[in-house]
């Protein structure tokens, strides 16, 4: 119960409204977390509705089992949403897929998970604690160039090379195994250059994305959702940083049937339209941002599965 009180679902009404839930529909929440969005979807389902719940975090699945295992409308699976099309519960097709990307509030708030530099803890960062490699493991074996590439690509960290070099020099003396150690090292290397932002913010984001394979999982999950959605089914995705949002935006665009060729290049034949954006990108209200600061960077995009060959409408702001 404490987790539920602490975890405030972001853009709850907007994300669920985007699904256009029908009483007898079949929906999948690929990122259960602590169930805020799932609860809202389930409240709109009738006795013939079906809600599929997935999460890669064993603690989230334990919470789902505790609350929903007795509801015959609900099926629960411990897995990354990237594998949703491999779950036989999705074979019958889906009327909606909801994804709330990134790290959840319970993961951030439990210091021992190692996602945050706000408290000293083991440098873990695994969303699925049954997987092998932690952030500390990655830093212990990655070569300097690969480490710098991760910090730049996934964190857009301008000082990626300096930070990678400092980590390699430090681990030659002793391994970096604590969040506090890593945050202090990064602060020494780059200083406090952005008011209101800890200098380790970008690096911690980059390591988390690398350890959990988040962008690869997102691409696979989007493809799986498109494959399993019925015609007229909705995809509702909440992103929290530009890399995620860009991937979602481009995925919708690339399946919209629009020609993306250059005016100076040879003619390009558009692929059949399979998705249409539903409205433009949505952002949290000022009131929600004030009540829940973690919502500030959120972006919601909604798309609808088309009958193949239909023209797409809507915008991608």
As annotated, the binding site for S-adenosyl-L-methionine includes: 35-37, 55, 81, 100, 107
Spatial CB neighbours of 191, under 8 Å, sequence gap ≥ 6? 199
d(C-alpha 277, C-alpha 258), whole Å: 12
Structure tokens at 62: 């334990």
d(C-alpha 311, C-alpha 263), whole Å: 21
Q: What is the largest CA-CA distance in the chain?
A: 61
d(C-alpha 33, C-alpha 227), whole Å: 24
Using alpha carbons, select from 123, 107, 108 the residue that is nearest to residue 63: 107
From first CA to last CA, the distance across the chain in angstroms is 38
Contact between residue 273 and residue 314 where contact means Cβ atoms under 8 Å apart: no
Burial bucket for residue 303 (CB in 10 Å: 0-12, 13-18, 19+): buried
Binding region? 35-37, 55, 81, 100, 107
d(C-alpha 275, C-alpha 257), whole Å: 8
d(C-alpha 55, C-alpha 78), whole Å: 6
């Amino acid at each position: 119960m404490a987790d539920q009180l602490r975890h405030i679902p972001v853009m709850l009404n907007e994300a669920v409204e985007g699904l256009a839930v029908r009483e007898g529909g079949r929906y999948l929440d690929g990122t259960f977390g602590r169930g805020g969005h799932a609860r809202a979807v389930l409240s709109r389902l009738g006795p013939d509705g079906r809600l599929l719940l997935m999460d890669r975090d064993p603690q989230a699945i334990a919470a789902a089992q505790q609350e929903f295992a007795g509801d015959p409308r609900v099926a629960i699976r411990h897995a990354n949403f990237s594998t949703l099309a491999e779950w036989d519960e999705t074979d019958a097709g889906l009327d909606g897929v909801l994804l709330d990307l990134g790290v959840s509030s319970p993961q951030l708030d439990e210091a021992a998970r190692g996602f945050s530099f706000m408290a000293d803890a083991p440098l873990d960062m695994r969303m699925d604690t049954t997987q092998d490699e932690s952030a500390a493991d990655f830093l212990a074996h990655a070569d300097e160039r690969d480490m710098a590439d991760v910090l730049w690509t996934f964190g857009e960290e301008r000082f990626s090379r300096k930070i990678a070099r400092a980590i390699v020099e430090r681990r030659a003396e002793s391994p970096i195994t604590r969040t506090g150690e890593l945050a202090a090292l990064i602060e020494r290397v780059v200083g406090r250059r952005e008011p209101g932002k800890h200098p380790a913010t970008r690096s911690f984001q980059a390591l988390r994305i690398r350890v959990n394979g988040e962008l690869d999982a997102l691409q696979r999950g989007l493809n799986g959702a498109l494959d399993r959605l019925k015609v007229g089914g909705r995809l509702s995705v909440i992103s929290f940083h530009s890399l995620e949002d860009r991937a979602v935006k481009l995925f919708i665009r690339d399946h919209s049937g629009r020609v993306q060729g250059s005016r100076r290049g040879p003619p390009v034949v558009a692929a059949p339209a399979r998705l249409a954006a539903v409205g433009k990108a949505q952002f949290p209200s000022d009131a929600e941002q004030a009540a829940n600061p973690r919502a500030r960077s959120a972006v919601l995009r909604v798309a609808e599965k088309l009958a193949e060959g239909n023209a797409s409408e809507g915008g991608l702001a």
